[in-house]
Structure 1
Amino acid sequence: MLKNIIFDFGDIFINLDKPAVFRNMVPFGYSNYTDELDFLAKQYETGLISSREFIHKLNNLYPKASRKDIVEAWNSILLDFPEHRLEFIENLKDKDSHRLFLLSNTNDLHIDYVIETMGEDRFKRFKNCFEGFYLSQQVKMRKPNTEIYKYVLNENSLRPEETLFIDDTKENTDSAEKLGIQCWNLQVGKEDITELTQRL
């Protein structure tokens, strides 16, 4: 019996334009995604460096870009948070049929921007829908590392077979499935989180 649902955030609730960051950094010298950039992004997502350090290191890589240029490019991935999805998760919470959790690979700059663009009231409405709200930079782990799923399961005494994890990235759902967690690898543009009720 399904008792628990763990949701990703980006492209599940908030719309993303994933190539936007790189597209907007081209004028400042970006040409291709390197191991150095990947390492830097993962350090930031797991809270191992601060926003100031992250921007400083990017600035060293792309000296033509100002701090403002870097922050704007970094946040350009984040689009709108449709009201129908917020109402959906609020209605699901009100039904009290499942324990609800959020698990997101993100960072401080993105969360600050989300709060600013959504507005504090809407963000609080969203956050209040979840029993646990797990952000990678706060727990110092990120998907698809299985340790982050084990952490959420153990912290809340969740049984994997009673838990559904929803994420748009197949690598993330594949790793969760290895622990016995049920998964929905949501296909962005073809499926919407509001269709979840048809699957429960």
Structure 2
Amino acid sequence: MIKTIIFDFGDVFINLDKPATMREMNKYEIEKLSENLMDINQQYEKGLISSEEFVKSYQSEHSQLQTEHFRNSWNAILVDFPEYRYQFLKKLSEEKNYQLILLSNTNEIHIDWVKGNVPFFEDFNACFDAFYLSHEINFRKPDAEIYEFVLKQHDLKPQECLFIDDTKENTDAAENLGIYTWNIEPTREDVIDLFTAKKELF
């Protein structure tokens, strides 16, 4: 029996355009990212370097990249947050049948954009019993440590948890720990259909 629902954020609640950042960077003659910058991205997502250090890492390899242009490119992945998904979560929260946790690979520049562009973000945040962003807890999916952290923090049994994420690598990692999962396909599935899509668990 499911007692805790753990939600990803991107392409579960907020719509993403994942290729958009590189499309924008192409405008500044950046065709692909070096191995170093790929590693820097992960460090930043774990909160191991500051936003200023992050931007400077890109500028050290691509001197033509102005800070504003980079931030706009970086945030191009973020599209919109349909309010009906927030209303679904709000109702779920008010019913108090499940513990609700958000677990997202989200960095500081992205969450700052969300706070500035999603008027109901604070109310959305308040619907959760816990709200974990990778850059704040220094773990990222799909590393086992991030799931183990959540399980330990809340004294959870994996078999009583459902984890919803759009990235199969992330749901596979959770399944390896005994957590039920829904690898949501954002082009044809929507989180508001949770209790239909996963009715066998409820």
TM (norm. structure 1) is 0.97
**CA shift digits 1:123-143 (9 cap, x unpaired):** 111001100100000110100
> What is the rounded CA distance, in whole Å, between the counterparts of 2:115 and 2:124 in structure 1?
11
- 1:146 aligned residue (144, 164, 167): 144
> What is the rounded CA distance, in whole Å, between the counterparts of 2:38 and 2:129 in structure 1?
31
**CA shift digits 1:1-44 (9 cap, x unpaired):** 11000000000000000000000001222112432221010010
**CA shift digits 1:22-77 (9 cap, x unpaired):** 00001222112432221010010001100000001111122111100000000010
> What is the rounded CA distance, in whole Å, between the counterparts of 1:143 and 1:13 in structure 2?
17
Structure 1 partner of 2:78: 78
Q: What is the CA RMSD across the aligned residues, in angstroms?
A: 0.8
TM (norm. structure 2) is 0.96
Runs of 4+ in 1 over 2 A off after TM superposition: none
> What is the rounded CA distance, in whole Å, between the counterparts of 2:181 and 2:6 in structure 1?
9
**CA shift digits 1:105-158 (9 cap, x unpaired):** 010000000000013xx1111001100100000110100001000000100011
Structure 2 partner of 1:171: 169
5+ residue gaps, structure 2, are: none
Structure 2 partner of 1:46: 46
Structure 1 partner of 2:125: 127
> What is the rounded CA distance, in whole Å, between the counterparts of 2:33 and 2:176 in structure 1?
29
Aligned length in residues? 198
5+ residue gaps, structure 1, are: none
* Amino acid paired to 2:149: Y
Deviates more, 1:8-17 or 1:54-63: 54-63
> What is the rounded CA distance, in whole Å, between the counterparts of 1:177 and 1:114 in structure 2?
29
Q: Say whether the 8 Å CA contact 2:159–2:178 is kept in structure 1.
A: yes
The aligned runs of 1:9-24 (5 Å cut-off) are 9-24=9-24
Structure 2 partner of 1:185: 183
> What is the rounded CA distance, in whole Å, between the counterparts of 2:91 and 2:81 in structure 1?
16
* Amino acid paired to 2:185: Q
